[in-house]
Structure 1
Amino acid sequence: MSTTILKPEFRRPIIAVNVSPKLFNRLKNQEDKRYHRIKKLLRVNQTARSTLYFFCYQNVDFENSKISGVCFNENTKSWEIKDFPFPDVLYDRVRGKRKYQIELNSMRGKFDQMGIKKINSLHSFDKWDLYQVLEKNDLFRPHLPLTRLLESTDDLKIMLDKDEKIYLKARKGSRGMQVMSVTKAPKGKYEYRFYSKSVVVGRVNDLYGLFRVIHSFFKGKNVIVQQAIDLLKIDSCVIDMRGELQRNGRGELEITAVPVRIGKKDAPIATRGTSYPFEVFFKDFLHFSEDEIKALKSKVDSFLIEVYKYIEQSYGPFGEIGIDIGFDKRGHIWFIECNAKSAKVSLCNTSDRGTIEKAFLNPLEYAKFISSC
């Protein structure tokens, strides 16, 4: 629990949402029209009745034990800047560019020392670290694609000797922006694909040329190499699922939604495509019966819950995690990745109003639970 002296005008719990400097300035300047998820959070807070404010790392004054944040005034329908006490609970939503990662992590460390609770124990997942954690468990090992760190062309050669196709991902990347697929081409060449506003396809003559393309694309970031999973496809579009799992105001684990995502044609991943409710996809696209859909959903739910609980055993408690999984053509489940800051895009595109509101309310109610306020 924070040692902050709380002022009587602030309802408990006090929840501080950590956002980027860019977003903070836009809210401060009343430029919030495009931020629908923030509006949803504000709306459900009328039910949660917490003190909810938004801030960036530059607004934290440790010397005077205060944070200059922005909050929405329901009476004036405008954003206001106010000085707030340190929160009971931190809701970390900033994705953090490399240029201010040091300052962000310093702030997070100080908050930890002060005993400020967090919605999630980790602000982001390291894909390599998470792979090593899951790979130790006999239950999950069959569901993990073979993975190794990319350190030299030798790592590319080892993986491409095993498979015709591989995936490369930034160890700390999100939203599908830092993923590349590589496929062997005739005459010792290699074809690569990635998504940047549209699908980009290129070819190189050898592994050294490929390594240069990879280094340029990932801008020097640490990268993992993965065996390509032969995921289910429709018309050359990759299919996967985003399990949205959360803990509610009683600390109970819930599966809020499991939308199915269909990627853009020939794109290496399903992100940024279209999405459908689980039942709708398997009924309308794959023509499953109701009993088959029910059995499949039960199988998926069980796997997602096992992953969530094991992650908590390894890293500590989480209020919400987005878990990406997929099926291969044999119906085998594959783990793809976890997201500690799911944008809930597919959930919002496929769910009814009640489910969407629950998805935004759960973190606020969970904050009450962990803060005992």
Structure 2
Amino acid sequence: MDRSSKSSSFRPVVSVYLGNKSIPLNRMNNYVRLIKLVEANKEANTILNFFTAEDVDFTERRINGTYFNYSSKTWQKKEFGLPDVVYVRGGGEEIEKLLAAFDSWGVKRLNPIPAFNKGELFELLSQDHNVSRFLPPTVSVESMNDIRSAIQRLGTVYVKARRGRKGTQVMRIERLAKKGYLYSYSVLGKLVRRKVASMNGVEKAIVNFFSDKKVIVQRAINLVRVNKNRLVDFRAEVQRNKKGDIDIVGICVRIGRQNAPITTHATAYRYDTYLKKLFPHYSNQQIRALINKIKAFLITVYFGVEKKYGQFGEMGIDFAVDRKGDIWLIECNAQSAKVSIVKAYGSKANRVFLNPLQYAKVIANLDRGTDRQHNNRSQSKSNRSQSNNNRSQSNNNRSQSNNNRSLFNYYKRHFVRDRTRSEHEMSHTNHNAYFGGW
């Protein structure tokens, strides 16, 4: 397939990376979110396929991809040339090698990185004065002495693997008022809570749980709670749409299980209908003001991350609101599982699957003027093509930045720079035109 086609019916090849190991065709229907992507593609109209590291022929630069045949309603396999855009929805040890090869061949990424290093992310964002005010005290540690010192200084903390997904590498540690410590974590949905008499017991638990993984230590936020011992946080799904504009598709309130240290496997609700239950003493005007603060916070974080890493097609942003109504960033996710938004929004969440495919068409169209083909490309042509892609992406970023700058400065002036501004004053600004449908 020639990617330089000038036809108005241009259909980019979008290949979705699922991990290391091939998936049998008879198991594809087991993955609900893949089905939702297939359904969304009826409107997006890309040439959509799915693949794993085992499906890539690096020599021939081809993919033995899996696709859904809409006519026969079956999953089938066939060879595809190099995609226009790769959409990473999996990990594994081959991911860096794979993406490096795709980069050298001029294949574009929906997101610039497959996963965040939490320590690196917080260090970079701490240097951005627009974002740093939303960061809880966080320390990247190198030794057990560093961890001990951070716990003693910060009090109740979360220890997190710098790389980890779905809350599988998070431990909460609380220094008890009388004596000793309480630590807790979840493994495969099972809650573990234990008391130890001294820091030595905490250190043993950390070693057993994290092994040799690099970790960060983060001060615990005084979260709002339900029924006193169920923690509450938020997951926002923020993406770029078919115009390349930022779209906050949905924001979910996640309520953890009783005594659980995190909200993974939580119950999820739409935040706009649930905030009043979390802040029953707030007036309707104050609730509207808080909603506006949350939206402005999400835009600020999205732009802040993009300044450090490049433009993202999508990002899951986890954040907390403390009992004073202040907003705190917990972490960003380059590969959101989209579980909470489907729970909370049902069919109204379908846009979260459509946006990435439509945005892939935006970035695929950036280099349609070049005469490149999927096959028989020399390495020198690939390098020149990659350079052209980078310049096109840079021009697109500058254009997008110019489009958003005045609006972003407006939000920063009214919502970010002065967090003590009265909620009454903030509640009178209308943002619906920018933030899309809710």
Q: Contact 2:111–2:314 at 8 Å: present in 1 too?
A: yes
1:252 aligns with 2:245: yes
Write the deviation string for residues 125-169 of structure 1: whole angstroms up to 9, x where unpaired.
100000011111222223211111232232222222223311100
Deviation at 1:191, TM superposition (A): 1.7
Equivalent pair of 1:30/1:78 in contact (CA under 8 Å): no
Structure 2 distance, partners of 1:230, 1:284, is 17
Task: Confirm whether residue 67 of structure 1 aligns to residue 66 of structure 2.
Answer: no
Q: Deviations over 1:227-262 (max 9, x none)?
A: 111111112111111111100011001111111111
* C-alpha distance in 1 between matches for 2:82 and 2:336: 25
Matched to 2:37, the amino acid is L
1:176 aligns with 2:172: no
Query: Could you tell me whether the CA contact under 8 Å between 2:237 and 2:317 is conserved in 1?
Result: yes
Kindly tell me: are residues 228 and 327 of structure 1, through their superposed partners in 2, closer, same or farther at Cα, counting changes over 3 Å? Answer: same
Q: Would you say the 8 A contact 1:59–1:68 is kept in 2?
A: yes
Matches within 5 A, 1:24-43: 24-25=22-23, 28-43=24-39
Give the Cα separation in 1 of the matches to 2:196 and 2:106: 52
For residues 307 and 275 of structure 1, what CA distance do their matches in structure 2 show?
22
Unaligned runs of 5+ in 2: 369-438
Is the Cα–Cα contact under 8 Å of residues 11 and 51 in structure 1 kept in the other structure?
Answer: no
Match of 1:327 in 2: 321
Asked if 2 retains the 8 angstrom alpha-carbon contact of 1:238 and 1:270, the reply is yes
Where in structure 2 are the equivalents of 1:281-296 lying within 5 Å?
281-287=274-280, 288-296=282-290
Alpha-carbon distance in 2 for matches of 1:195, 1:95: 21
Amino acid at match of 2:218: Q
After the TM superposition, which of the residue ranges 362-371 and 274-283 deviates more from structure 2? 274-283
Q: Which residue in the other structure is 1:86 paired with? A: 82
Deviation of the 1:3 alpha carbon: 8.9
Note the alpha carbon deviations across 1:198-251, whole angstroms, 9 max, x for none: 210123343333222212212321111111111111121111111111000110
Query: Which residue of structure 2 aligns with residue 206 of structure 1?
Result: 198
2:351 is the alignment partner of 1:358: yes
CA drift at 1:65:
1.8
Matching residue's letter, 1:176? G
Q: CA deviation at 1:185?
A: 3.3
Deviates more, 1:199-208 or 1:331-340: 199-208
Q: Does the Cα contact within 8 Å between 1:264 and 1:270 map onto a contact in 2? A: yes
Q: Indicate which of 259, 273, 276 corresponds to 2:269.
A: 276
One of 20, 24, 48 as aligned partner of 2:44:
48
Are the equivalent residues in 2 in contact too, given 1:156–1:207 (CA < 8 A)? no
- What is the SS of the residue equivalent to 1:181? strand
Partner of 1:57: 53
Name which one, 1 or 2, has greater alpha-carbon Rg: 2
User: CA shift at 1:186, angstroms?
Assistant: 6.3
How many residues align structurally? 361
SS of 2:195's equivalent?
strand
Q: Any idea what SS the aligned residue of 2:289 has?
A: helix
- The one-letter code of the counterpart of 1:343 is A
Stretch deviating more after TM superposition (202-211 or 85-94): 202-211
Shift in Å, 1:281: 0.8
Q: Deviations over 1:271-306 (max 9, x none)?
A: 211111112211344334433222111110001001
- Confirm whether residue 304 of structure 1 aligns to residue 298 of structure 2: yes
- Which amino acid counterpart does residue 61 of structure 1 have in structure 2? D
What amino acid sits opposite 1:208 in the alignment? N
| 2:16 equivalent in structure 1 | 17
Q: Describe the shift of the 1:279–1:62 C-alpha distance in structure 2 as closer, same or farther (beyond 3 A).
A: same
After TM superposition, the structure 1 = structure 2 runs for residues 108-257 of structure 1, keeping only pairs within 5 Å, are 108-185=99-176, 189-196=180-187, 197-235=189-227, 236-257=229-250
Q: Within the alignment, does 1:95 sit opposite 2:91 as a pair?
A: yes
Unaligned 5+ runs, structure 1: none
Distance 2:127 2:20 in 1: 38
Specify the code of the residue in structure 2 equivalent to 1:261: R
Structure 1 Cα separation of the partners of residues 147 and 62 of structure 2: 49
Measure the CA separation in 1 of the matches of 2:174 and 2:48: 48
Aligned partners of 1:150 and 1:224 also within 8 Å: yes
Whole-angstrom distance in 2 between the partners of 1:12 and 1:66: 18
Q: 1:3, 1:75 → 2: CA distance?
A: 25
Task: Report the residue type matching 2:305 in the other structure.
Answer: I
Question: How far did residue 350 of structure 1 move?
Answer: 1.2
TM-aligned CA distance change 1:156 to 1:188, over 3 Å? farther
User: Aligned residues: percent identity?
Assistant: 37
Q: Does 1:318 align with 2:309?
A: no
The CA deviation string for residues 38-75 of structure 1, in whole angstroms up to 9 with x for no partner, is 11100010111111001011211121121111111122
AA matched with 2:263: A
Does structure 1 residue 262 correspond to structure 2 residue 261?
no
Partner AA of 2:262 in structure 1: I
* Counterpart secondary structure, 2:166: coil
Does the Cα contact within 8 Å between 1:12 and 1:51 map onto a contact in 2?
A: yes
Q: Distance in 1 between matches of 2:56 and 2:72?
A: 26
1:296 partner SS: helix
Q: Distance in 2 between matches of 1:286 and 1:277?
A: 15
Q: Is the 8 A contact 2:224 2:278 kept in 1?
A: no
> What is the alpha-carbon distance in structure 2 between the residues aligned to residue 279 and residue 149 of structure 1?
34
